[in-house]
Every structure is written in C-alpha cells, then in structure tokens.
Chains A and B, each alone.
Chain A
Amino acid sequence: MGEGCATALPTNAWNWIAVWRRNYMAWKKVALASLLGNLADPLIYLFGLGFGLGIVVGRVDGTSYVAFLAGGMVATSAMTSATFETIYAAFARMHAQRTWEAILYTQLTLGDIVLGELAWAATKAFLAGTGITIVAGTLGYAAWPSILYALPVIALTGLAFASLAMVVTALAPSYDYFVFYQTLVVTPMLFLCGAVFPVAQLPEGFQQAAHFLPLAQAIDLIRPAMLGRPADSIGLHIGALSIYAVLPFFVSTALFRRRLMP
C-alpha cells in the first residue's frame, strides 16, 4: 500500500510546523493560566514533599532530599505535561473538534499532523520542565551551569511521552479510557523510576524492570545534570528515549490511518 505509507508519513521536514503554529496560537491566548497550572502542581510536590518529607528522610544519595527530588520532579513534569497535552488536547482536536479533519483537507498528511502535535506536546513539556529547573536552580537546589545539560533531555523526554501517549489517543474510543493509561502506566512510573525515592529501595526484580522505563532513562540523565555530577551511559539513555519517541510515532500514525481514513 504505497499510498497508505504516503498518508501516514510526514511529507517533508517542515510541513508539521503549520500544525505546531496553530497550537501555539491557541495556547498564546491562555498562556499565563496554562503556565501557572503546569508549574504549580510539580512545584507544590517539590516543596511539599521536599521540605515535609525531607525532615524525616534526611539526606539521600549524598544530597538534600529537596535537591534529590528536583531532578525527579523535572522529569515527571515533562512526562505529565506531554502526556496530558496528547491524551486530552490532541484527542479533542482529532475527535470532537474535528481540527485534524480540516487539516487533512489541505496538502498536509496524517504524518505531518502527528509530528506537529508531538512537537507541540514536547514544547509544553519543555516549558514545564525548564520552569522547575530554573526555580530549583535559583533557590540553590541545582548546580549551575551543568543544569543546562538537563534542558535538551527535558525536550526529548517530552517527545518520548507524547509519542507513547499518541498511541493511546489513536486507540481510545472516548475520554473515559485515558484514566486507565494514567493510573496503570503514568502514575506507577512515578514510583518505579526513582522520581521520589532511589530505585535501590525497590525489590530486585522491580529495579531491573524499572531500568527499561522511559521515565527512569530521563531521570538518570536529568538528576546528575542538576546535581552537577557526571552521568553514566549517556548514549544508552538518549538512545532509549529516542526509540520511545520514534517507534510509537509510526505505530500511532498507522492506527490513525485506520481510524480516520477507513
């Protein structure tokens, strides 16, 4: 099916930008509220848990609990903002608002639309993650200038989680199904991947499994950068996140083709 591939793939390297710009234009109208909402939640966790539990926990991995938590919260905020943008906002544009249908009547393909949506979700994840990084850095819980290495990882993390969530969006018949993805996939990752406590606290089997999860890959890169420590296996983590970003993209566009162009 040559024509099938052609509609599922992006047409070129820049057509998706029109989709990104559409979402950016819509977001600009509500930018302040959106930014506050995206930042408030992880910051409340960071300082609530960091100072509250920090008293009980003491030092973790040779640093204060707040500083340990900061890297986890940055990665988590990238995960949740990319996920929510994709399963709720992109689903609405695909389904109820028929925005994608209108775009498909132009010279853009499904591949262009999905790529534009992923780039947009990754942008929002980048904004949220970077916001927390800056707050943590300003308050002295993260190390300058190695903190800057975290920024591209935040974007890649957003892209990977947007891509994974896009598969869920392609499969879900309605909003009701997203809660399964949230409670069975996204929330457990928070506890399995070392966001709030070191992975070493988990039973051996869980530790092994957790290594393969995308949030663990993100935290293994972001936390050392924020603490000003050298990170291990950088290439491996980046490679794993890239696979999480690329493979689901092809799966989701194939699923969308079946769903939207029967």
Chain B
Amino acid sequence: MLAIDLTDVSKTYDDKVVVDRLSFRVAAGECFGLLGPNGAGKSTIARMILGMTSPDAGKITVLGVPVPARARLARRRIGVVPQFDNLDLEFTVRENLLVFGRYFGMSTREIEAVIPSLLEFARLESKAHARVSELSGGMKRRLTLARALINDPQLIVMDEPTTGLDPHARHLIWERLRSLLARGKTILLTTHFMEEAERLCDRLCVLERGRNIAEGRPHTLIDEQIGCQVIEIYGGNPHELDALIRPYAQRIEVSGETLFCYAPDPEQVRLQLRGRAGLRLLERPPNMEDVFLRLTGREMEK
C-alpha cells in the first residue's frame, strides 16, 4: 500500500515556482526523505501533503485519501512534527498532551491512558509536570514528537526534525525515529542534514528549486553518483594541484581552499602529492553530501 502518492504536483507563489512537476511515492512502513537546501520547496511539499496548501496542478493522495479535498480525514491518521516548536508554553508537558488529544476528539480518559507510554517513549517521564518553558530544546522536540503520536498515526510528517539541536539531542531523536519505523510507522521527513538523510531514510528524493533531481536508496545514490573514494586536500594552491592530479581523478571539485578529488585509485593520487609540503590529505568513503553537492554544485550560489 502507498502512504503518499504525489503526481506532477506544481505550486507557484507570486510567479516564483516553488514546486515543479514533482512526483514521488512513499510505501507504507518506509522512511522517505526530502533532501534539499533551504528554499528547495521541502516545507511547501510537507504542507501540501497535510492539506495546508493547495497545489496549482497535480494530484496528491495520502493514506488512500485525496488531498486537499479530504485532507481532514487524512490528518486524523497523520502525526506532524513541525519545523518550529508550537507547544503551549504556559502548559505542563502532560497538559500539552491532554489538550492536543482533545483536538482529535479523544476523551480525557482515553488521553490519560496513552500519556504514560508517550512520556516513556519521549524519555520525559520525570518531566510530566514541568512547564514547557523549563524544558531544553531537545526535550521540547521530544515532546513535540510524543504529541504527534497521540492519535496513533500511521504516517508521521516531520519538517526538519533535528534542526537546531545539539548532537546529543539529535542522536536521541534519530534513535526514537528508528524505533517508530520498527513499529511499522511510515515517516516522511524533510532535512538538509545529509547525515540524517543517510542514516534514517530508506529512500530519498533530492530537491532543487522544487524539482526532483535524483531519487533512490542513499547507498545506491552514492554508488551511482560517486562510486569511489574521496580525498579531501587542504592547503596548497587548489588550481595547481588540480592540474597535477587530474589524470588520476574521476572528477575534481574545488570549494574555497579545499580540493575534493574523486579517485578510483587513491594510491596514485597520494603518489603524485608525495613530498609536497603543507598539504593535509583526508581519504574517506563517499557519502550523501558528495552526492548532494555533485547534483546541486559545490560552489555557493551567487
């Protein structure tokens, strides 16, 4: 069964094309990532899936329901973790869950029955009676995640779930998301964190200016797009080094003072650079960031 089916969806704001004939499908139980820089249209797509914004063209089906026509029906089975926390600051952790459950038509008794397991999931058992304003950023995110689960959703839509969190808090969120996937939930997440996309997503779609420029499993994309070791070279004149190692590289990119060399045979490159003073070489396997930068261009847009 498909959780999300987008076909040829477009959206224009004031003559600016934000989403451009975008299609993708998300299967039930899958973690699907929308990966793109700021302004690529990720949040707009998330809003369209929730029925908050209507597409100008194209068709959207979420959990078997046409959106936005019957979005309210779909939203009963969706949990949302928005980009900006919108918890009720004057309420306690427990009260936030209580109030939110009522929006789904749950009775106080029904909500109170699920609150303990939600608090346990969010690792907030000891904070049940703390005011939200007293929580750390990571705790607030976890509470937002717990709140999104109050209606036992099949699909969870997360817009930049770990933006602004420290690494510790981020890893805890990732671990919680994996446990949701293990329970069979479907997750759609938008992110500009390559590491997040690579770690969590079964499949992802790379967006640029609202267009789908690549789609697939992270490791398949990495193999297809890069397929060899990467050597990062710091120090030295990048253009001079470029000329020197070009015969041994599949591709070379310069970003600022750093040279990225995609080398099928890294030893050859090292050999060429041997004896040159002031250079620092870092050899590593390719990752999602390389794919992303290859597709969207490593130099900053002017």
Chain A residues with CB under 8 Å of chain B are 2-4, 6-7, 11, 15, 18-19, 21-22, 25-26, 29, 97-99, 101-109, 260-262
Any A CB within 8 A of the CB of B80: yes
Chain A interface secondary structure, helix, strand, loop or mixed? Answer: helix
* Residue in A6, A18, A26, A101 whose CB lies within 8 Å of B103: A18
Any A CB within 8 A of the CB of B54: yes
Inter-chain contact B69/A15, CB cutoff 8 Å = no
Residues of A within 8 A of B91 (CB): 25-26
Residues of B within 8 A of A15 (CB): 105
A-B contact pairs, 11 of them (CB 8 A): A3-B69, A7-B68, A7-B71, A15-B105, A18-B105, A26-B90, A98-B82, A98-B84, A106-B103, A107-B105, A261-B54
Q: Which residue of B lies closest to A22 (CB)?
A: B99
Contact A3-B103, Cβ < 8 Å, known A98-B86, A99-B86, A106-B75: no
Residues of A within 8 A of B13 (CB): 262
Inter-chain contact A261/B53, CB cutoff 8 Å = yes
Contact A109-B72, Cβ < 8 Å, known A102-B100, A103-B103: yes
Nearest chain A CB to B132's CB is how many angstroms away? 11
Contact A106-B151, Cβ < 8 Å, known A22-B99, A99-B88: yes
Inter-chain contact A262/B53, CB cutoff 8 Å = yes
Any A CB within 8 A of the CB of B31: no
Chain B residues with CB under 8 Å of chain A are 13, 50-54, 68-69, 71-72, 75-76, 78, 80, 82, 84, 86-91, 95, 99-100, 102-105, 151
Inter-chain contact B90/A106, CB cutoff 8 Å = no
Cα of A60 to Cα of B74 in the assembled complex, Å: 61
Cα of A260 to Cα of B53 in the assembled complex, Å: 9
Q: Which residue of A lies closest to B44 (CB)?
A: A262
Inter-chain contact B82/A105, CB cutoff 8 Å = yes
Residues of A within 8 A of B89 (CB): 97
Inter-chain contact A18/B50, CB cutoff 8 Å = no
Cα of A106 to Cα of B90 in the assembled complex, Å: 20
Cα of A109 to Cα of B102 in the assembled complex, Å: 14
A sample of 18 more A-B contacts (CB under 8 A), given A7-B51, A101-B82, A102-B100, is A3-B54, A3-B69, A3-B71, A6-B72, A7-B68, A18-B103, A21-B102, A22-B88, A22-B102, A102-B82, A105-B75, A106-B100, A106-B103, A107-B75, A107-B76, A108-B103, A261-B52, A261-B53
Inter-chain contact B86/A2, CB cutoff 8 Å = no
Which of B13, B80, B105 has the largest number of chain A CB atoms within 10 A? B105
Cα of A15 to Cα of B105 in the assembled complex, Å: 7
Nearest chain B CB to A98's CB is how many angstroms away? 4
Cα of A105 to Cα of B105 in the assembled complex, Å: 13
* Residue in B53, B68, B103 whose CB lies within 8 Å of A107: B103
Nearest chain A CB to B220's CB is how many angstroms away? 33
Nearest chain A CB to B70's CB is how many angstroms away? 8
Which of A21, A107, A108 has the largest number of chain B CB atoms within 10 A? A107
Nearest chain B CB to A91's CB is how many angstroms away? 15
Cα of A2 to Cα of B54 in the assembled complex, Å: 12
Contact A105-B53, Cβ < 8 Å, known A22-B88, A26-B90, A26-B91: no
Residues of A within 8 A of B52 (CB): 104, 260-261
Nearest chain A CB to B85's CB is how many angstroms away? 8
Cα of A107 to Cα of B54 in the assembled complex, Å: 17
Residues of B within 8 A of A107 (CB): 72, 75-76, 103-105
Which of A2, A97, A105, A109 has the largest number of chain B CB atoms within 10 A? A105
Contact A3-B68, Cβ < 8 Å, known A15-B105, A25-B95: yes
Residues of B within 8 A of A19 (CB): 103
Residues of A within 8 A of B53 (CB): 261-262
Residues of A within 8 A of B50 (CB): 105
Residues of B within 8 A of A3 (CB): 51, 54, 68-69, 71
Q: Which residue of A lies closest to B151 (CB)?
A: A106
Q: Which residue of B lies closest to A15 (CB)?
A: B105
Nearest chain B CB to A55's CB is how many angstroms away? 45
* Residue in A4, A6, A29 whose CB lies within 8 Å of B90: A29
Residues of A within 8 A of B75 (CB): 105-107
Nearest chain A CB to B66's CB is how many angstroms away? 9
Cα of A6 to Cα of B73 in the assembled complex, Å: 12
Cα of A214 to Cα of B71 in the assembled complex, Å: 38
Inter-chain contact B86/A102, CB cutoff 8 Å = yes
Inter-chain contact B84/A18, CB cutoff 8 Å = no
Residues of B within 8 A of A99 (CB): 86, 88
Which of B89, B99, B103 has the largest number of chain A CB atoms within 10 A? B103
Cα of A15 to Cα of B71 in the assembled complex, Å: 16
Cα of A223 to Cα of B86 in the assembled complex, Å: 44
Cα of A260 to Cα of B51 in the assembled complex, Å: 12
Cα of A73 to Cα of B213 in the assembled complex, Å: 65
Cα of A97 to Cα of B89 in the assembled complex, Å: 8
Nearest chain A CB to B231's CB is how many angstroms away? 46
